[in-house]
Amino acid sequence: MVAPYKIGLTGGICSGKSMVADFFSELGVKVIDADIISRELTRRDEPLLDEIVKEFGDDILDHSGELKREVLRTKIFNDKNARVRLENLIHPKVFEKIEIILREIDTDYCILCVPLLFETGSEKLVDSILVVDCPEELQLERIIQRDGTTSELAKSIIANQVSREERLKKANEIIINNMTLDILKSQVQELHEEYLKRSLLLTG
């Protein structure tokens, strides 16, 4: 089986990556979402969650034993060493799962949605990099609205990611997400057609 053409989809927090991934999925494209895999691996009774609790304490769990993600997020974004320790626990498990899924894909191309694509060195896994971009002011507004967090924490989250300038510099393709859904969908459709052409060239 010929490996599919792989697109690395990334962007800053609340840039609209998930929405773009959903639009590709609606077009029949296989989407592998690192965030979803991470959530699955950190559900109650999962071995990885036990490791995280040992490292960060049981106050990150609710009464039912599920992870309180906002509590953990606050801990790690106020402590760089804590963030690194968490990433060292989670990232290897996530990418093990991604590699298993990639071996089973039989579509022409796939989307690998990884918010920390550059931070984890995962660009080496893909053939092309697609960045979803929006102004930082809009990012802040979306983070606060979505997570109910403070402006200070939202700014800290953005500061702990690769800069917008660096993402755009490394991108092969860019989707601008500061307009209407119809415009966003049209950008996805245009790229879908381009990726299909590339995948055909790859597979012969």
Q: How far is residue 102's CA from residue 50's CA, in Å, rounded to a whole number?
A: 27
Alpha helices in 11-79 (DSSP H): 17-26, 34-41, 47-56, 69-77
Q: For 113-167, how does the pLDDT look when each residue is reduced to its tens digit (9 = 90+)?
A: 998 899 888 999 999 999 999 999 999 999 999 988 888 888 888 888 899 999 9
144 DSSP assignment = H
What percent of the chain is modeled with pLDDT above 90? 72
pLDDT of residue 204: 59
pLDDT of residue 2: 59
pLDDT of residue 36: 94
Q: How far is residue 181's CA from residue 152's CA, in Å, rounded to a whole number?
A: 29
Work out how many domains the chain is built from and give that number.
1
Exposure string over 61-87, b if 16+ CB within 10 A, otherwise e: beeeeebeeeebbbbbbeeeeeeeebe
Q: Is 11 helix (H, G, I), strand (E, B) or coil?
A: strand
110 phi and psi, to 5 degrees? -140, 160
Low-confidence ranges of the chain (pLDDT < 50): none
pLDDT of residue 35: 92
pLDDT of residue 190: 97
37: containing domain: 5-203
- Specify the CATH number for the domain of residue 187: 3.40.50.300
pLDDT of residue 44: 93
127 phi and psi, to 5 degrees? -95, -25
Compute how many other C-beta atoms are within 10 angstroms of the C-beta atom of residue 150.
12
* pTM to 2 decimal places: 0.88
**Structure tokens belonging to residue 18:** 């998930």
